Amino acid sequence: MIRPALLVLLMVGLAWPAKAEPLLSLGGKWAGAGWASREPGAPRERVRCRLTNRVDHALGRLSVSGTCAAPGRRFDLSGRMTAEGGRLSGRWSNPFGAGAANVSGRSRGQTMTVSFRGRDPDTGERFKVQMRWTIGDDRFSITTASAPIDGETYRVVGEIGFARTDG
């Protein structure tokens, strides 16, 4: 199975504080730490990330760039997400893992859920991912779960917490 949690870690800039268009309040710098596994049941790896988010209020768009690190490797990330009426959509690039993926989801209160599908570049196996964000003041946490494309049972493959670093 692909390393969906690593794709997720590359998409960590998708978390939004709870507001009418919460995406627009995520501009700035963020640092995070947590764990990810390459697949359900695999050993957990410690992961750290730093993100710089830019917001275009006129377009309702968040642009993300950053770097994540796990034992023995470092990887860059980039992406964009647009919010409209509680609906979220965008495209994210993950050079380590599934490559680029279209993402979509919804926000509700202090929680946001985003889903995407991908293919393991090593095995060709297809997978699906759901990510749930729990949002607080100047912080957020992400829990990520994955499943085979034809499976219904999602299993947790990562958790990471972020804090704003630019006050």
Tens-digit pLDDT profile for residues 78-94: 888 888 888 889 987 76
If pLDDT is split at 50, 70 and 90, which confidence band does 165 have? Answer: very high
Separation CA 100–CA 89 (nearest Å): 14
CA 160/CA 35 separation, integer angstroms: 6
pLDDT of residue 142: 81
CA separation, residue 70 to residues 36, 63, 78, 96, 147 (Å):
9, 23, 17, 12, 22
Give the residue among 68, 65, 54 at the shortest CA–CA distance from 23: 54
pLDDT of residue 147: 87
pLDDT band at 9 (very low <50, low <70, confident <90, very high): very low
Dump pLDDT digits (tens) for 15-63.
333 344 677 777 889 999 999 887 788 899 999 999 898 989 999 898 9
93-133, pLDDT tens digit by residue?
Answer: 765 555 678 989 998 877 778 888 888 777 888 888 888 87
132 closest CA partner among 8, 28, 3: 8
